[in-house]
Amino acid sequence: MGGGASRARVIVNHQVRLDDRAAIDEPERYLAALISMLGFRAKSAVAMMTGVPIRKVSHTSVRRGNLIVASWCTAGCSNALRIGDAATVKTGPGTINIVVAINQALSDAAMAEALAMATEARVAAMLDAGVASTSTKRPATGTGTDCIAVTSPARGAAHTYCGKHTLIGELIGRAALRSCANALRRTV
């Protein structure tokens, strides 16, 4: 819920029971009610769902000077796929949710690059863990239901770039890779 570019006051990664019909059948409505119950407006929230026990979340922070990047990840792999696998409407409960928080502002272009860095980190973690696609048995690059949220302050001098040749890109990659790898170790 709240995907795309938005200004959010809260990011939620909510654990659901795998048999919770309300969450499965109407995820947007379910998450909006949850956000309201937490005291926030749905329009100012980003929310994801996971079947992974939240106690298995992995968190990593990295810092260099006054730049801090943190990443949280929950990982399930029963829905693992490789990019380009045949489309299917059948989905399992496995998903990888990643939240990356950066303490300095990003331009729109840098935000897109930050998302790419976090995605590459997830792919590297999946390959390093040896997770195979449930469809083709080839090395998986994610699951069919993964979500990634990247957040940074809306104010302040914004970083224009954050690719792999930049310090901020390095820290995003390092934090997301560590949190995803640790979450996968708790699952695989």
pTM of the model: 0.93
Contact between 140 and 77 (Cβ < 8 Å): yes
pLDDT digits (tens, 9 = 90+) for 130-186: 999 999 999 999 998 899 999 999 898 999 999 999 999 999 999 999 999 999 998
DSSP state of 35: H
Domains and CATH numbers, the chain: 1-50 (no CATH), 52-187 (3.30.365)
pLDDT given at position 92: 59
Mean pLDDT of 98-122: 96
In the three-class reduction of DSSP (H, G, I as helix; E, B as strand; rest coil), residue 149 is classed as strand
Q: How does the average pLDDT of the chain come out, rounded? A: 92
Task: Report how far residue 171's alpha carbon sits from residue 118's, in angstroms, rounded to the nearest whole number.
Answer: 10
What six digits make up the tokens of 10? Answer: 């809260």
- Looking at residue 83, its amino acid is I
